[in-house]
Structure 1
């Protein structure tokens, strides 16, 4: 089972060490001394639990920005815990009211503190954003799909219109990606779904209807860390919009690199001989006829065919020809 994320804000190293010893089985723990820095870390980690050790901060002003930790909807579902002296907790209860989810007095034993933290582990309803998003799914103008790793399990109306796909049965994201090693894409998506990163924003080429390729900026984002293997993909064919705030959620570099490589595959040109072979193939010439026309052996022609298929990341020579035409990689004389 994947561990939950705990952000521990404390200047007391001994206290932090004891907390880590008690709850590290269930939590992946990040410790930070600065409350200001802790907020930026929270936006990156989107932790399940945020634990403040008020006893290690003497100034009342240290916690004046505590409300920021619940000011963005990315953090409203985090479980906020404050550990402190009774007099400080009384003041905070009046000042922050329902903002803090749990108040732990200083005289509480460590095993009791750990028990309460573990009890609240995953207590929040983290399906909330998933449900809200699905309710708005078809109202969004951009093509959007809900993925379970490589499998498309839901798509909005805009996606259906652009890609001319009506049903999700058996449709995979790799069906839309013209990339040399599709296994690499599958592995990358699987690692993203199961990993701790919350987003990936990159560029790629996508296959739309009639085998046409269009460049796009795509954004992957998890709706919740607790929903295993599922995330959304938003598509922007103009490449001008940014769907995911760069300051929120950690990036999955592997996914971004993998799909960016797909967009770079078109940055090449065929050799003169390959263009000649493709031109003759378009006229319906067979291997033997091409060999006789170009005065090279059939074996060499087969090698050219193989290279063309490989370089265009296609499965057949017909797909390679379509790819070449769509990308204006060859010149055909007017008949």
Structure 2
């Protein structure tokens, strides 16, 4: 089954709210608001697929005067807006609110008919789920700042500006943590995983990133989900001037956990191996086995295995080979011919 979409219901009628929840809770995450004014704030944060404004419960004309704000707001322009009215007012409302709403529905038909129309609109006909993602990908390489498309920690695509800035040649199987200082890799990876699967739509933070030749450069980075329904996928934009904010503070919900994680990466201490760890890595690079290292350094095989384990853990690697490669690439050990 498809992941649930989002619906905002603006009504004060508990009977209508109950009926809509009964019919649509299987397909939608439903949020409620008691007025058009309050509902607008919820809508700009939630970015729902469907908005239902129940005019039958809003008696005063002033209660609905701000309805034009919804469709004129860029991020809400693709939400499907229903106006639910009294049967006797339907024709008048269609004329009065033309261009402000997508469809006027009367209470002359059962609520089940309204719910069926909503399901049909969002699931059978064109869905909104990938609209913003498609728009973004169409402009991907036109962006002057470095941008990557991520799935969790894995880089799915990078624009030309990113490749040029980070001097990336081979782009396959790259991780965002390849550009993060070693001591913070695990924390950053966990933070990205939680962000991509959580409810937050954005995160803006400052950090330091690794460029080629182990150079470190300060940056302001922005994360944003392309779709609430595409699991794990989001974008990251990088601004090395540190002056711009890419995301409107009023749109979406922000993840403070991502900010904390990357800020920690900015204040990391310089990473280095202990003297004994360097000796072991250097001997491993020369092809020494555990027994030979034991004889050379006059330490037990058990101690060597403990050092190997610590090296793997500290470099956030899966194998000792990965740790060695990392050490060589970052000039953390001296390998004599």
* TM-score, structure 2 normalization: 0.78
Change (3 A) 1:136 1:15: same
**Any residues of structure 2 matched to 1:120-135 within 5 Å, and which?**
120-122=121-123, 123-135=126-138
**Any residues of structure 2 matched to 1:205-284 within 5 Å, and which?**
205-266=208-269
Equivalent of residue 147 in structure 1, options 141, 146, 150: 150
3-state secondary structure, aligned to 2:98: helix
1:137 and 1:320 map into 2 onto residues whose CA distance is 30
Residue 289 (structure 1) aligns with: none
Equivalent pair of 2:184/2:265 in contact (CA under 8 Å): no
Q: CA RMSD in A?
A: 3.6
1:225 and 1:310 map into 2 onto residues whose CA distance is 34
Change (3 A) 1:313 1:65: same
Once the two structures are overlaid, the 10-residue window that deviates more, 200-209 or 119-128, is 119-128
Once the two structures are overlaid, the 10-residue window that deviates more, 47-56 or 129-138, is 129-138
Once the two structures are overlaid, the 10-residue window that deviates more, 181-190 or 211-220, is 181-190
Residue 96 (structure 1) aligns with: 97
3-state secondary structure, aligned to 2:97: helix
3-state secondary structure, aligned to 2:90: helix
1:10 and 1:298 map into 2 onto residues whose CA distance is 78
Change (3 A) 1:73 1:192: same
Change (3 A) 1:132 1:254: same
1:6 and 1:212 map into 2 onto residues whose CA distance is 47
Q: Which runs of 5+ in 2 are unaligned?
A: 284-296, 318-322, 333-337
Pairwise CA distance, 1:319 = 7.1
**Any residues of structure 2 matched to 1:181-220 within 5 Å, and which?**
182-220=185-223
Equivalent pair of 1:176/1:207 in contact (CA under 8 Å): yes
Residue 9 (structure 2) aligns with: 8
Equivalent pair of 2:214/2:330 in contact (CA under 8 Å): no
* TM-score, structure 1 normalization: 0.78
1:257 and 1:269 map into 2 onto residues whose CA distance is 20
For residues 27-61 of structure 1, give each alpha carbon's deviation from its aligned partner in whole angstroms, at most 9, with x where no partner exists.
11111102212111111111111111110001222
Equivalent pair of 1:143/1:236 in contact (CA under 8 Å): yes
